[in-house]
Amino acid sequence: MKRATGSGSGWRVLAAVAALAVALVFAGFPLLVTDSTATSIAVFTLIFMVATSAWNIFSGYSGYLALGHAVFFGSGGYAVALAARDWHVSGGWEVFALLPFAGIIAAAIALPFGMIALRTRRHTFVVVTIAIFFIFQLAAFNLAFTGGTSGIEFPITPFSAANYNQPFYYVALFILVMTVALSWGVRRSRFGLQLLAIRDDEDRARGLGVKTGRIKLAAFVLSAFPVGMVGGLYFYFLGQIFPQFAYDPLFDVSLALMAFLGGIGTVVGPLLGSMVLESLQQYFTQSFSGSGTYLIAYGILFLVVILLLPRGVVPTLAQLVANRRARALTRRTEEVADSGPAVRSGVAGAVH
Amino acid sequence: MSKAYGGVNALSDCEVRVEEGAIHGLIGPNGSGKTTLFNVITGYERITRGEIRFNGSEITNARPDRVFALGIGRTFQLTRIFGRLSVLENMLVATPRRGGWLRGIVRIAGSAAERRRAMQLLEFVGIARLAHDRAETLSYGQRKLLELASLLVADPDVLLLDEPAGGVNPTLINHLAERIRDLNKSGKTFLVVEHNMEFVMGLCHRVTVLSQGRPLVSGTPQEVRSSPAVLQAYLGGLDDTATERQLTARGDPVGESSAPVRPAPPSARPAPTHGRRERVKGAQPLLEIDGVTTGYGGGDILKRVSFEVPEGGITCIVGPNGAGKSTLLATISGLLRPRVGEIRFRGRVISGLTPRQILKLGIAQVPQTHSLFPDMSVRENVEMGAFTIADSRRVRERLAAVEELYPLVRERAQEKAGSLSGGQQRLVEFARCLMLDPALIVLDEPSMGLDPQMRQVVFEMIETMNRQGKTILLVEQNARAGLRLSSHGIVLENGRVRLSGSGTEVLQHPEIGALYLGGAVAGEGGRGDEATPGEGDANLSHATDAQRG
């Protein structure tokens, strides 16, 4: 819900201009920057922005910390790799057409996954998602059709070396736009409100008629779909898929960290967090390959954010803006019915 | 219906009927099953036996969302709102779904009409101007109003309110009562659990008293108030004739009224009287509570509470539910700071110290709920009581001394604490708190959940510890048994000290029943608060008057 308490229209114009500028930068990036290192970093970053944003649709809004989304990422990758191999899809744009299929596979896996894991709450839920994740990793190593440790090769792409990254970039950007639209739509919907209610007090939500089981499961499945799609894209971009990369526990942790950094439970926060962290991480990896220096930098950044902005960047900034606005407003008269000391921070329905 | 938790019956063959269009009150002492009753009606807990019918159809063990969809809404004892949502968003959660599930996902939460209705309801309860604030910024009373309003969005036929007036200031209580009456006139049925007797008696058409999981009396407020059985249930002592005999045999004349109640303004030290109370030695109070006002966030729970705990005595605090007894103990042990006033121990101000510092000064507390580590052995549990002592030789000495007093600790040293009975666990908790050799032992409801025999054992142990020089401060729900045991009694009601004196004096005071049930026991249906002062015993310490003046 967006309803400003103060001079709302000014802020709205500003936000629209900013959004337009961001959109232009994203759309024009590969045309302006031709350096292949930079564009490949951009592709990875977009993929993580999708994954974090999708993860946030479930974990951010419902408050259930899922650490098993690598299952959807890897399964999406395998779905595309296997489909391309077995259906003899030639490289190029045709493989991209398989991405929705990867999303469907991920969502189909999410359904039983969610039905099992969502029987539990809080810490138990986290542990169950991790356990299910390891089942998938083990299966990928050992099943025949995944090719075991030798993995699966994707079809050769016909793109020229100079512009190799461009198609991947725009496909990723397209998926990102869809995911952000989904995230934003959910946040505003009745469905999203019910998820937020579950996050704040699940038992009370049940007492207000929210069918919590279905709502949580729907969000879980919904959040798996984009992750599956970018999983397919990611491994196609790399050209091959191996179990240890497909089902990587670090992927799960990264999504959570990126979302927390930016601000979990908001639309913009996870986007910002993943954009900053993933691009930095890729940059450090590519600049100082082999050495662990980037990990140290990564760790320091993280500590600083946790210490200074424990709620994440976006909510903290939103709070600052809201506080300024609240100060500008004349102090409202105290509620007649209650003389209790009400603390007012003036945050008006969280504008993000 | 019946409901059992691991052998303990929370509800046993409990039958309650609520008529359509009524405001039905549900009262009863702690642990009588009121909240459990709410939980089983609304599907948060399952009943083991029996059935629940609503409008003639059975809703036994239906899930909470279904119960709500059928038209039964409830509030919670500790107000529950969605803190990070705005007030208006809180209101929209319960809006009924329109169209298919897909529309629910696609559609923006709250149509214009729904928002208008939500605003009207916020207007109705009086918090419309806060609609766009985050719900967690509301005060406690405002949260109560929001919780109620957010139920009304779905237009339920029946509203179950769990302590709507708990921790709410008097102005707001009146406001709330008005709103409930308004809603009732428009056809809503209410079932209200409440400890504020004035509120219940003034509001409800019928009142049911629950005791030990079953209805004791049901009738008009008048009938309930004048029922002797109800008073018994509140003051306890129905089932502890054994204790009574024991105590009487020891030469403590229970039942024989002694000296008249002395005026005991909160700051004056109650005069020690006859019998074993002469053990009360030194004139110095061990602990002084001086004008303490405090609470959690919203309203004040304790209002200028003052009294003293004399060294070497047993001081018992009694009072109806929600009087502030547990809050008082939390303040003494340092978990809560007094907003106004101070607490002194041996003349030294301890309010503001951390719980650990207070513990080290020699104030040990045994909490109300069982606090042993169930998977650790009895010995380990007791040793945990001494973890602030670094000197291991001293720990061994203390352990030996404690085992002397509590042979149980030695006999069952290796058993898991969780395998002991409730009463034995209680004794191990006592043993644990003795490890630090405290000067003052604070006990919160030591007899809670114990059968009469075990209660007697526990009470004897309290006396033994007292005889060995420990000063005891206890809170006791079973007012009769607690006061009989004690050299000093304090009656706390609605956050204020209402009576104080020797144990027997307080116990036999004619007003004590009124304090528990609100208003004069058999008098006219007046507002208890205004009717009592001065009317009864002129010597009575009515802290209210002094503090209101």
Neighbouring C-alpha atoms within 13 Å toward the C-beta of B543: 25
User: By C-alpha distance, which of B454, B389, B449 is closest to B424?
Assistant: B454
List of residues 6+ apart from A77 with CB closer than 8 A: A102, A231, A232, A234, A235, A236, A241, A246
B97 neighbourhood in chain A, CB within 8 Å = 190
* B22 C-beta neighbours (distance < 10 Å), count: 15
Residues within 8 A of A (CB atoms), B 74-103 only: 74, 76, 80-86, 88-89, 92-97
Q: What pLDDT was estimated at residue A292? A: 66
Q: What is the mean pLDDT of residues B400-423?
A: 83
Measuring CA to CA, which residue among B302, B254, B252 is closest to residue B277? B252
- Region A151-172 average pLDDT: 83
Q: Considering only alpha carbons, which residue of chain B is nearest residue A337? A: B172
Average pLDDT score over chain B:
76
- Give a yes or no: residue B455 inside a domain: no
| Lowest-confidence region among A2-11, B25-34, B99-108, B387-396 | A2-11
Spatial distance between the Cα atoms of A4 and A21, rounded to a whole number of angstroms: 23
Which band of pLDDT confidence, cut at 50, 70 and 90, is reported for residue B110? confident
Does residue A172 lie in a domain region? yes
| Six token digits for residue A352 | 């993000």
H helix or E strand, kind and range, residue B23: strand B23-27
- Residue A223: enclosing H or E segment and its boundaries? helix A212-238
Complex ipTM above 0.95? no
CATH code, B200: 3.40.50.300
The pTM (predicted TM-score) of the whole model is 0.68
- The answer to the question of residue A277 being in a domain is no
| Mean of pLDDT values over A284-303 | 71
Searching chain B, which residue's CA lies closest to the CA of residue A186? B105
pLDDT at B368 over 80: no
Average pLDDT, chain A: 82
**Cross-strand pairs, B162:** B193
CB contact under 8 A, A341 and B141: no
pLDDT of B393 above 70: yes
Q: How far is Cα B389 from Cα B376, in angstroms, rounded to an integer?
A: 20
Is the model's pLDDT at A5 over the cut of 60?
A: no
Domain encompassing residue B134: 3-235
Number of domains in chain B: 1
> According to the model, what pLDDT value does residue B15 have?
78
A:175-214 residues touching chain B, CB 8 A cutoff: 185-186, 188-194, 196-197, 199-201, 203-212
Number of domains in chain A: 1
Contact B109 A189 (CB under 8 A): yes
Q: Is residue A155 pLDDT above 90, yes or no?
A: no
Determine the residue type at A1: M
- Is B349 inside a domain boundary? no
Please check whether residue B75 lies inside any domain of the structure.
yes
Q: Does B62 touch chain A (CB under 8 A)?
A: no
Q: Which residues of B touch A350 (CB under 8 A)?
A: 84, 86, 134
For residue A344, the chain B residue with the least C-alpha distance is B137
Q: What pLDDT is stored for residue A127 in this prediction? A: 92
Distance CA B276, CA B264 (A): 21
Give yes or no for a contact between B159 and B116, defined as CB atoms under 8 angstroms apart. Answer: no
Residue range A201-211, pLDDT digits in tens: 888 888 888 88
Contacts of B45 in chain A (CB under 8 A): none
Any domain includes A220: yes
Q: How far is CA A340 from the centre of its chain?
A: 41
The model's pLDDT over B187-205, given as tens digits with 9 standing for 90+, comes to: 888 888 887 777 888 888 8
**Pick from A227, A255, A291: which is nearest to A66 by CA?**
A255
Model pLDDT, residue A327: 67
The token pair at B24 is 């039905």
* Three-state secondary structure call for residue A16: helix
Using CA atoms, how far residue A76 sits from A141, A235, B418, in Å, is: 16, 9, 49
**Residues B508, B213: contact at Cβ < 8 Å?**
no
Task: Tell me the average pLDDT across B394-421.
Answer: 85
A281/A292 Cα distance (integer angstroms): 11
As a whole-number percent, the residues of chain A with pLDDT over 70 amount to 87
Q: Are A103 and A231 in contact, with CB atoms under 8 Å apart? A: no
Most confident of A97-106, B7-16, B288-297, B312-321: A97-106
| Cα–Cα separations (whole angstroms), residue A122 to A112, A125, A270, A311 | 19, 5, 21, 19
Q: Answer yes or no: is B265 within a domain.
A: no
Residue B271 pLDDT > 90 = no
Residue A90 lies in a domain: yes
Q: Which of A193, A336, A344 sits opposite B126 (nearest CB)?
A: A336
Structure confidence at residue B103 (pLDDT): 63
In this predicted model, which residue has the larger pLDDT, A325 or B420?
Answer: B420
What pLDDT does A218 receive? 93
Q: Say if residues A274 and A49 touch (Cβ distance below 8 Å).
A: yes
Closest chain A residue to the Cα of B141, Cα to Cα = A338
> Has residue A268 been placed in a domain?
no
B82 with A341: Cβ contact below 8 A: no
The pLDDT confidence band at residue B237, using thresholds 50, 70 and 90, is low
Find the DSSP H helices in A155-211.
Answer: 165-188, 190-207
Give the pLDDT score at A145: 79
DSSP codes joined into one string, B507-543: HT-TTHHHHHHSS-SSS-S--HHHHSTTTS-TT---H
**Cβ separation B105–A194 shorter than 8 A:** no
Give the contacts of A196 (CB within 8 A, at least 6 positions apart): A61, A265, B82, B84, B85, B89
Closest CA to B434 of B409, B460, B459: B409
A-B C-beta contacts closer than 8 Å: 156
pLDDT at B6 over 60: no
Which of B85, B89, B142 is the closest to A342 by Cβ?
A: B142
* Mean pLDDT (whole number) for B331-335: 88
Is pLDDT above 60 for B136? yes
The answer to the question of residue B335 being in a domain is no
Give the residue with greater pLDDT, B246 vs B371.
B371
Tell me the residue range of the domain where A77 lies: 39-249
Would you call B141 an interface residue with chain A, using a CB distance cutoff of 8 Å?
Answer: yes
Residue A51 lies in a domain: yes
Return all residues near A50 (Cβ < 8 A) that are at least 6 apart. Answer: A172, A175, A176, A179, A226, A227, A229, A230
In this structure, is residue A193 part of a structural domain? yes
Average pLDDT over residues B282-304: 79
Contact criterion met (CB below 8 Å) for A176 and A229: no
Round to whole Å and give the CA distance between B6 and B251.
40
Could you give the CA distance from residue B294 to residue B109 in angstroms, rounded to a whole number? 40
> For B16, how many CA atoms within 13 A lie in the half-sphere containing its CB?
29
In the block, tokens 């100079």 appear at A162
Q: How many angstroms separate the CA atoms of A95 and A297, rounded?
A: 37
